């Protein structure tokens, strides 16, 4: 989790000096975003209109205001944040500016959606940038994927090795997390990188953590927990969170937690209309 977010320059220097062999130059960075402390992606949901305000996807723990606590859900909170949109070859097309966090949490998943001050059409016209589409279906085991980091302008390619019952790190627990095959040994600064299906080009997940030291269920050392409560620790392995739940809950770039089929975590104080 926090290990995938970059806070200090010394970590950046070390990372740039020793990038694992599994990290290869990306084939394309269309839609990829560089934040001050993380990676991200300009995304659209299935059925989004070109005139809708654009969205940027990253991790909940990349929130500049601090990591959401267990059970905490952020809704429609004003957030002025600048980020860089990359071109296909990795150079910076220009700056994107957010107006608010539409949704963010670290409960059951680790996601944040920023709404921007420009529409998809405006960004395409002004900067020449285009979004990635978030897949509406869960990721399949065996799917070839790319984890594309805007922070480092590097891509890791591998496959989805397993979809986990739960992944636990310190006080947080995530459901249906993606474990990559060993080739995707992501590093500090890759938090928020989109996990892109190599076949469809759609976003199926967001990179968020990895086990640094082989410890069990501690910060920067997530553990896998199965249905029977059996804990498995895999030192050096990296993980992402699935993103298909967003597709059922976002319309016109706004979160609609009361939509039929929306299964994203909801604030404890939120009362949804009962089904008639």
Answer yes or no: is 258 within a domain.
no
Answer yes or no: is 261 within a domain.
no
Answer yes or no: is 272 within a domain.
no
149 and 234 housed in the same domain: yes
Which domain range does residue 98 map to?
32-133
Answer yes or no: is 61 within a domain.
yes
In the numeric block, which tokens belong to residue 134? 């978030």
99 and 154 housed in the same domain: no
Answer yes or no: is 42 within a domain.
yes
Give the Cα-Cα-Cα angle 182, 188, 191 (nearest 5 degrees).
85
177 and 90 housed in the same domain: no
- The β-bridge relationship of strands 132-133 and 39-44 is parallel
177 and 125 housed in the same domain: no
CA-nearest of 184, 163, 176, 179 to 233 is 179
* Residue-level pLDDT at 188: 86
Q: What would the 3-class secondary structure string for the chain be?
A: CHHHCCCCHHHHHHHHHCCCCCEECCCCCCCEEECCCCEEEEEECCCCCCCCEEEEEECHHHCCCCCCCCCCEEEEEECCCEEEEECCCCCEEEEEEEEEEEEEECCECCEEEEEEEEEHHHHHHHHCCCCEEECCCCCCCCCEEEEEECCCCEEEEEEEEEECCEEEECCEEEECCEEECCCCCCCCCCCCCEEEECCCCCEEEEEEEECCCCCCCECCECEEECCCCCEECCCCCEEEEECHHHHCCEECCEECCCCCCCCCCCCCCCCCCCCC
CB 141 within 8 A of CB 107: no
Q: Where a domain ends, among 87, 117, 133?
A: 133
Residue 263, Ramachandran bin (φ over 0: left; ψ between -120 and 50: alpha; else beta)? alpha
User: Domains in the chain: how many in total?
Assistant: 2
116 and 141 housed in the same domain: no
177 and 100 housed in the same domain: no
Domain of 74, CATH number, reads 2.40.10
Class of residue 78 by CB neighbours under 10 A (exposed 0-12, middle 13-18, buried 19+):
exposed
Answer yes or no: is 267 within a domain.
no
* Residue-level pLDDT at 6: 62
116 and 202 housed in the same domain: no
119 and 143 housed in the same domain: no
146 and 239 housed in the same domain: yes
Please give the model's pTM, rounded to 2 decimal places.
Answer: 0.91
Each of the 276 residues of the chain gets a pLDDT tens digit; together they read 754 676 433 344 334 343 333 333 334 999 999 999 999 999 999 999 999 999 999 999 999 999 999 999 999 999 999 999 999 999 999 999 999 999 999 999 999 999 999 999 999 999 999 999 999 999 999 999 999 999 999 999 999 999 999 999 999 999 999 999 999 999 989 999 999 999 999 999 999 999 999 999 999 999 999 999 999 999 999 999 999 999 999 999 999 999 999 999 999 866 555 544
In the numeric block, which tokens belong to residue 46? 């299935």
240 and 140 housed in the same domain: yes
List b or e across 171-201, with b for residues whose CB sees 16 or more CB atoms inside 10 angstroms: ebbbbbbbbbbebbbbbbbbbbbbbbbeeee
107 and 158 housed in the same domain: no
Answer yes or no: is 15 within a domain.
no
142 and 119 housed in the same domain: no
Answer yes or no: is 269 within a domain.
no
Domain of 222, CATH number, reads 2.40.10.10
* Residue-level pLDDT at 63: 97
* Residue-level pLDDT at 9: 35
């Amino acid at each position: 989790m926090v290990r995938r977010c970059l806070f200090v320059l010394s970590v950046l220097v070390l990372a740039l000096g020793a990038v694992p062999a599994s990290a290869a130059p990306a084939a394309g960075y269309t839609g990829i975003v560089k934040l001050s402390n993380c990676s991200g992606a300009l995304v659209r949901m299935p059925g989004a209109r070109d005139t809708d305000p654009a969205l940027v996807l990253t991790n909940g723990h990349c929130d500049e205001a601090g990591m959401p606590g267990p059970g905490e859900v952020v809704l429609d909170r004003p957030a002025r944040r600048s980020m860089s949109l990359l071109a296909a070859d990795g150079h910076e097309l220009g700056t994107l500016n957010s107006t608010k966090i539409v949704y963010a949490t670290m409960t059951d998943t680790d996601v944040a959606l920023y709404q921007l001050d420009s529409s998809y059409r405006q960004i395409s016209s002004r900067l020449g940038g285009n979004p990635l589409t978030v897949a509406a279906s869960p990721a399949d085991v065996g799917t070839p994927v790319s984890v594309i980091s805007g922070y480092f302008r590097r891509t890791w390619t591998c496959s989805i090795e397993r979809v986990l019952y739960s992944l636990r790190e310190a006080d947080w627990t995530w459901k249906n997390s993606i474990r990559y095959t060993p080739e995707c040994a992501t590093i500090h600064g890759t938090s928020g990188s989109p996990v892109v299906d190599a076949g469809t080009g759609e976003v199926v997940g967001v990179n968020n953590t990895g086990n640094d030291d082989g410890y069990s269920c501690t910060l920067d050392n997530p553990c896998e927990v199965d249905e029977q409560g059996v804990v498995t620790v895999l030192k050096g392995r990296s993980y992402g969170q699935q993103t298909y739940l967003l597709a059922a809950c976002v319309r016109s770039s706004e979160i609609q937690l009361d939509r039929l089929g929306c299964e994203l975590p909801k604030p404890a104080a939120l009362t949804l209309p009962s089904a008639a």
